């Protein structure tokens, strides 16, 4: 635990005290089909080397740095409001945070220091050492995406949990040790494991945000925190994530789209033990239903 907190504290010490403001809102709607949805969801949240799609399971503890109390309260209110709709337990009074939202005017330098001090970029990191796992180093594409100049960038970490929160077992194989989640189904016929987010670090560069209302920026931050999307993907305007492709976020951008809202709802309604590929199909169906229900 001390080593985990030590790494996080190194990052937090990099940030000056800053603030940001804004004010209006709107929404984006676009027609799609189920094939397009599956491709987008796969690009956004599917990870090839893990068998389950990660999401938050335990308490989400917010730690927001670089904002004054007024704007900090605004983003906390938005994240709690959306989290409540997803049945998430969200707090900003925990003694230890697991979602760090950092506002700075030096995001490129901060990103470089994180990558240099933590080459694994927190992959598989867990505050509880018995759950720590090795997912392999980030790919060159993932590193490039994180170091690329942009208004908002992020890192997430996740770890396996069994249905009853038992840590994984280490099994020796001819190819080296591997981790296996302890199943609580004696027959071993049903996968009861899930993958939980354990850490999210979101870096917001206030100098790269132009004329963006505060409410809209809060929506983007909330979407990133709860979805943990792949930063390396290039997004279209089906999702609010598309506003963050370039080096500058030019507002006003809009709120979460019907696709975003439907995908978040589907993710947090889905059994965490669902196979990742099956999960993508399930979520595509649910998102399609949501979009059709809100079509004019």
Each domain of the chain, given as residue ranges in start order, spans 2-293
Instruction: Give the pairing type, strands 209-210 and 194-205.
Output: unpaired
Profile the chain (296 residues) by mean pLDDT over runs of 10 residues.
49 44 36 79 77 90 95 96 98 95 96 82 51 61 91 89 63 61 48 81 96 95 96 87 94 94 96 88 92 76
Residues 80, 232, 108: CA angle, nearest 5 degrees? 80
What are the φ/ψ torsions at residue 188 (nearest 5 degrees)? 65, 15
pTM of the model: 0.81
Q: Are 137 and 120 in contact (CB under 8 A)?
A: yes
Other CB atoms within a 10 A radius of the CB of residue 183 amount to 18
Other CB atoms within a 10 A radius of the CB of residue 178 amount to 13
pLDDT at 122: 59
The answer, yes or no, to whether the previous bond of 3 is cis (omega within 30 of 0) is no
pLDDT at 62: 98
Other CB atoms within a 10 A radius of the CB of residue 248 amount to 16
pLDDT at 116: 85
pLDDT at 269: 96
pLDDT at 291: 83
pLDDT at 126: 45
Two tokens, residue 249? 């976020």
């Amino acid at each position: 635990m001390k080593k985990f907190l030590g790494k996080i504290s190194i990052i937090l010490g990099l940030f000056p005290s800053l603030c940001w403001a804004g004010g209006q809102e709107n929404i984006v709607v676009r027609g799609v089909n189920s094939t397009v949805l599956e491709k987008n969801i796969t690009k956004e949240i599917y990870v090839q080397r893990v068998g389950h799609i990660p999401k938050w399971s335990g308490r989400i503890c917010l730690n927001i740095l670089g904002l004054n109390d007024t704007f900090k309260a605004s983003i906390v209110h938005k994240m709690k409001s959306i989290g409540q709709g997803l049945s998430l337990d969200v707090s900003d009074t925990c003694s230890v945070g697991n979602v760090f939202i950092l506002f700075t005017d030096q995001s490129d330098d901060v990103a470089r220091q994180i990558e240099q001090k933590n080459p694994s970029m927190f992959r598989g990191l867990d505050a509880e050492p018995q759950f720590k796992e090795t997912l392999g180093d980030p790919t060159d594409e993932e590193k490039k995406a994180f170091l690329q100049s942009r208004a908002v960038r992020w890192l997430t970490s996740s770890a396996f949990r069994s249905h009853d929160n038992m840590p994984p077992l280490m099994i020796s194989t001819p190819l080296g040790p591997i981790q296996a989640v302890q199943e609580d189904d004696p027959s071993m016929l049903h996968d009861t494991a899930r993958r939980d987010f354990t850490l999210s670090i979101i870096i917001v560069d206030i100098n790269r945000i132009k004329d963006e209302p505060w409410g809209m920026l809060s929506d983007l931050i909330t979407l990133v925190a709860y979805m943990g999307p792949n930063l390396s993907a290039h997004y279209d305007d089906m999702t609010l994530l598309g506003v963050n492709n370039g080096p500058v976020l030019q507002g006003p951008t809009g709120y979460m789209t019907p696709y975003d809202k439907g995908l978040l709802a589907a993710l947090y309604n889905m059994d965490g033990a669902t196979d990742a590929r099956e999960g993508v199909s399930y979520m595509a169906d649910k998102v399609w239903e949501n979009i059709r229900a809100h079509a004019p």
